[in-house]
Amino acid sequence: MALKSKKQALIGLDITATSVKLLELKLTGKKPKIVSYTVEPLPANAVNEKNLQDVEAVGDAIRRAVKRSGTRNKACAVAVPSAMVITKVIQMPDGLKDYEMDAQIQLEADQYIPYALEEVNLDFHVIGPSPNANGYVDVLLAASRSENVEDRTAAAEIGGLNVKIVDVEPYTVESAFELIKHQVQNEGEEKTVAILDVGASMTSLSILRDQKLIYTREQPFGGKQLTEEIMRRYGLSYEDAGRVKRVGGLPDNYEPEVLEPFRDLMVQQANRFLQFFFSADKNDYVDQIVLAGGCTGIPGIAELIEQRIGTPTVIADPFANMSISSDIPTQRLQDDSPAMMIACGLALRGAD
């Protein structure tokens, strides 16, 4: 794992339950330019709740994505979900060189990590002077079982890519906040912002206060439940159900009997996630909700959440202020935009 900033051009590679998302950015002037992008579907059950069940199938999808995108870059960044990572902020003496801090953390890591050190990938990032201890700095320690990192690295290698950075998903969202802060009150300064990413099978909540990540939570819930209800109700295959969900063509009773109950369920889940945060934090409010993930394509969902929960709600658009290479299909890019937050955060690690 590598939490430290790099300056090598990198492909952001987001592996989800249903697809691999590839994004490559280049800084031109003051704003990024999208130079390559694609979303490649995965076979059913290749990934289960972000566990790679079929590394070979995921690798084949990455290879197809690389070919379709036209990128010549082979270096990439991937991320592991927060549920697979132990993070802890520790204090270390100020003034230590990186190698000295690394040696001391290796000696003391067994105090913080409940696994044998040979079974984990471990890294750290110096946050800054500790507000609670003079002469010390706060250090973010992150560790994940090696198999979680190795599966993603192996899939990328099958796809023809070399993994240079393994990040943690909520921290990629924090990085990508730079791209959506124009959508948020006061650009997130002195504000508490909830980024709710509703994917195919998992929903994650990242809370940023004053643009810094302070809370994360992840639970199984997503658009797959709607797809499965369409399958059951109308006797379709999973692939056909997913297609008609996107492009339309379902009977008249679809919206009142299938879509409306799912929209209601999304609102309930959003409220439930916020209640978990409120119970963990001394402040019981957020200033704004930003919706991300594939389920943002459900018509009217942001307005419904804002109306029911009473918190201003917008749909993430990280590509709004980017320039786009002429060979990239802009409508498809716009449709995928809210689901590309993690890919954006990863790609920004290498934008130069």
CATH of the domain at 112: 3.30.1490.300
Rounded CA-CA distance 305/203 in Å is 15
Side by side, which strands form the sheet with 11-15?
162-168, 75-80, 11-15, 19-28, 31-41, 323-324
56 belongs to a structural domain: no
What's the N-to-C CA distance of the chain in angstroms?
21
182 belongs to a structural domain: no
108 belongs to a structural domain: yes
Q: Which of 341, 350, 349, 192 is nearest to 274 (CA)?
A: 192
Q: Which two tokens stand for residue 310?
A: 């009473």
113 belongs to a structural domain: yes
Domain membership of residue 88 as a residue range: 84-146
332 belongs to a structural domain: no
106 belongs to a structural domain: yes
How distant is the alpha carbon of residue 33 from its chain centre?
20
- Contact between 79 and 2 under an 8 Å Cβ cutoff? The reply is no
Question: pLDDT tens track of the chain, all 352 residues?
Answer: 544 444 578 999 999 999 999 999 997 777 889 999 999 999 988 998 889 999 999 999 999 999 999 999 999 999 999 989 998 889 999 999 989 999 998 888 888 888 888 899 999 989 899 998 899 999 999 999 999 999 999 999 999 999 999 999 999 999 999 999 999 999 999 999 999 999 999 999 999 999 999 999 999 999 999 999 999 999 999 889 988 998 889 999 999 999 999 999 999 999 999 999 999 988 788 999 999 999 999 999 999 999 999 999 999 999 999 999 999 999 999 999 999 999 999 999 876 5
Rounded CA-CA distance 88/10 in Å is 27
203 belongs to a structural domain: no
Rounded CA-CA distance 221/143 in Å is 25
Domain tally, the chain: 1
69 belongs to a structural domain: no
Single-letter code of the amino acid located at 32: P
pTM: 0.91
